[in-house]
Structure 1
Amino acid sequence: MSTAPDVWSRVRFLLAQSVCAGLDTLLALCRLAAPRWWRPPTLSAMCTERMRRLFALDQLDGVPYPDPSYGGHVATVLCALRPAPALPYERTRVAGGDGNPMCLDWLRCPQSAADRLLVIIPGLSSSSETNYIRHFVDYACRRGNHCCVFTSRGLGDTPLERPRLMSAYWTEDFRAVATECFGRAALESRFGRPVSVFAVGFSLGGVILSKYIGEESRDGRPLCFSAAFAINSPIDVISANEVMNQLPNSVLYQPSMTSGLIAATRRHQALLPHVPGLKPHVRDCIRAGKVEDIFKIIKTVYDYDTYFTAPANNFEDAIAYYREINPLKWLRYTSVPFLCISAADDPVCGPFPAQEVEAAMQSNPNISVLFTPHGGHIGYVKSLSNEWNAEPLFIEIILCDLITTFVSHT
């Protein structure tokens, strides 16, 4: 079903990881020398009674974290280097909210009894071909789940034929796709049997997912998803922006994230003169063929959102845009179980807004959070031998386990 990554990519990843493993060994020796004060890090859950029952979260509370306790930055950097198998996706195209072709990449589980579909939304500048998405899809299919990856417009190798850039604000694309492709009749036609549908958003994908589900729930529209998950998503986007503009994040992550956005925009620059709302000086540069002058000014995701995302979506500035897409605003409306999984050492998402989320839980029993002590930003690096053998990641195992538990309890 999948093709293993080449040996060189695995060796390159293991070389980088071996340095981290050496440091981790030193830390482990220190722990052995001081057993009285060291305790293995454990999972913790912040959940409502309803979510505790649906996902058996009380059984995860206090469970030791099984993998090396690399720091958040180490796990995050290694995530970008981890090899992933090539997958034989089947691609379909569906008209988005404004008619732009939206690409869905499907991987069908070969098990005849498979009756679950995971709809996956990748993070910022990511697509169905991004390594952490392929790694998860490969494992999820082996666990008996069909998978469908929704790539936001214009990202990866997907087309952009309408003058609207990708953003977490514009949920009409996902809405159009969900209506046409994830309804009961459409899925029975595809798979030949009824299937339960679960939505999984990674990083910014979780922000998009929380806004879409919040909008549908607030407006009383039915949802095709049995439950939703946000993995390493910034629950407070404004706080995450502040953290990302501080050292060392501004050096470690901003260049890569920003260059991904610029690369996607550059690929579709023929449409830029027609994108509405851009500031006059930006539009003048674009029309004069000097869009690279704008790209040179953009050093951060915030800069990109200031020049492109916010004005193109009729926001005065990037902060107003962040305020509108913030999961803190939308989670409280969710009418389906929505579980956030966050790593305590995630350097990208910023401090978890526990007080605000707990307040939302008081009025809505469908919200809960599972905290892992380590993992970084979608890293969850395993031991050297486990990584070499391409063992599934902790986050992949726990997510599939949670879905299985949910199905057994409903």
Structure 2
Amino acid sequence: MPPRPAAKLRLLLDLCSRYLVQGVAYVGFDPPVAAVPGKGFCGFCRICLDHPATADYCRRMIHGGAYQAAITGEPYYFRCWAGLNSFVLPVLHRDRLAGAIEFGGFFFPGAADEDTAFIRQALPPVDSGARGRLEREMRRIRTLAPADLRGCAAFVHEALLSHGINDRAEVGRQHEKYLLQRRIAEQMHAYARGHAGEADVFDLFAVLVPGLRRRDRRQVLLLLDVFFTRVMLQCRLKPEQAKAQVHLLMALLAREQVVAGAVPTLQAALARQAPLQRELESLDDLTDICYWAFRQVEGFLGQPAAAGHSPPALHERVAEWLRLNYWRKATLAQAARDVGASPSTIVKALRRAAATSFHRQLMATRIAEAKSLLAAGDLKLDAVARQCGFADQSHFTRCFRREVNLTPSKFRRMLTWVDDSLQGRAEA
């Protein structure tokens, strides 16, 4: 580590010693250097980092944790090989993992006795002197509540950024990319759990356009997560196919720039995108492709909106959320998080604007989709139930009968009879 960053690290170690419940240590990787513990650093961890029988175990755990933290842009919490809890943050130098800040070991409330017994069993053979020092330090290990731990991690994370040790913009980009990955993974898991069929990305463009024109960031980013999930499912993790879908999204953004009056013609809008399209073609990692598209949409949302497009009312945002999430376990709490309102506010908004409740609105959305599926073909009733978010076929039948006054099978036969009657009249 060059002299200037090293001086900043010494300042950070001192700062943590003064303001946190215990100190931290710097562990260098590139090049490997002896650990530099700050004042108040866990005595047990200090011995383990120095002793030849245990130092390699510690370094491996810290290096792996720092690597994960560098990828996610947030602290990495872990339990070390000896059984102590800790967290680690990366020290980055020119986008390279140069080392890590490790908080040192602690117990969670109520776990000290059990963890101490585990540590005694996990320790490798060491000389009697080191064993005695470890036993003494074991009795001094602190107990920290999860809330206190998160506060300490947030302090160290911000200190690394504010002291210029880690680049705030780069860490922010990594964190954004990680959050996008996690949201896509959650959506894909929900699709698999709900047994939803593959929906085409074109279906999303119709609901994406109003949000783009209103510059409704929350709605657009929610839809974008669904877009990326569908792209992943359709492209079977093939980058070239994913890029083809992103090109369609970029064409939509170009069109909306013309609609907003930001660019005079579609040809001019596409010409502006030419350098960006070349940038997209250079990417070969699916995560990078999705994050690149995410950044382009973010940039579009920062442009002025076309006149006459006011933000949607809360009940409209909830209705839109339900149209996107009816097929899975859609809860009021999840809707509140995604649309940016408290559950009680949503309840009041639905009652005032539509004289309905969240559950009734969800049920109406599911029943409407079920009607479409029943009318569209011969999909089995249990498949219709799964795709519309019902627990099973009997649950679907009960709810459908309550809302429509017919069972799903009778509703389908009625539609078939109507179609046959109309066809007979046309032939006559």
TM-score w.r.t. length of structure 1: 0.27
Task: Specify which structure has the bigger relative contact order, considering alpha-carbon pairs within 8 angstroms and separated by 6 or more residues.
Answer: 1
**Which structure has greater helix proportion?**
2
Question: Counting strand residues as a fraction of each chain, which structure ranks higher?
Answer: 1
Larger Rg: 2
**TM-score scaled by length of structure 2:** 0.26
